[in-house]
Amino acid sequence: MKQTKLFKQDVAIQAVLYILKRMGGSCDIHRCHKILYFADNEHLSKYGRSITGDAYVRMDFGPVPTCIYDLFKAVRGDSYFASQVDDVRRNCFYFVNNKDITAVASPDMSHLSESDVEILDKYIDQLKDKDFNEVSEASHGYAWSNTAQNGVISVRDRLTEMGDSDDYIKYIEDQMTAEEAVM
């Protein structure tokens, strides 16, 4: 289950803007990806839904959110769809270079729940002062290790890494399948 149907672009953009705000207005793409990965996993484990709804792919330096990364590539002009994100580039964020994202706007907090913010804050605080290698290492857990290079990290592996029971994982998988079916 790739779960890209569950991706919530508006929420994801606001989550990125929130991260950027908390990081002083700018953040490197690698750190942003990892904050989102850990926050999505914990939110999914605790509350039965991820913040962004994004799927994560195993890459060399850790998990990468597929839809958010596609959006980032388009914003920095590395994508066929670059012309379709001019409003995001003008109104949300842009790249200073190929790796640093800078906010143009403040997050619209109406898109983020209290639990979204609480968990984003937790991982911003945990990762904000770590160097690139420490951030990468932190994300190389069971779910990442159990996935082939460039493969989608399964929800099952992500929740197993969080310590969830098989019954709970099955329940979440069933809920996600049902949600995808009605989209």
Contact, 67 vs 81, CB < 8 A?
Answer: no
Whether 116 shows a pLDDT value over 90: the answer reads yes
Whether 18 shows a pLDDT value over 90: the answer reads yes
Q: For the chain, how many helices (H) and strands (E)? A: 9, 5
Whether residue 4 lies inside any domain: the answer is no
Whether residue 157 lies inside any domain: the answer is yes
Range of the domain at 86: 9-182
- Tokens, residue 37: 């990965």
- Tokens, residue 59: 């890459």
Number of domains in the chain: 1
DSSP assigned state of 78: -
Whether residue 52 lies inside any domain: the answer is yes
pLDDT band (50, 70, 90) for residue 1: very low
Phi (first) and psi of residue 101, to 5 degrees: -95, 135
pLDDT tens-digit readout, 83-109: 667 677 778 988 888 899 999 999 999
Higher-confidence residue of 82 and 181: namely 181
Mean pLDDT calculated for residue range 10-25: 97
Whether residue 2 lies inside any domain: the answer is no
Whether residue 82 lies inside any domain: the answer is yes
Instruction: List Cβ neighbours of 10 (8 Å cut-off, separation of 6 or more).
Output: 111
Whether residue 1 lies inside any domain: the answer is no
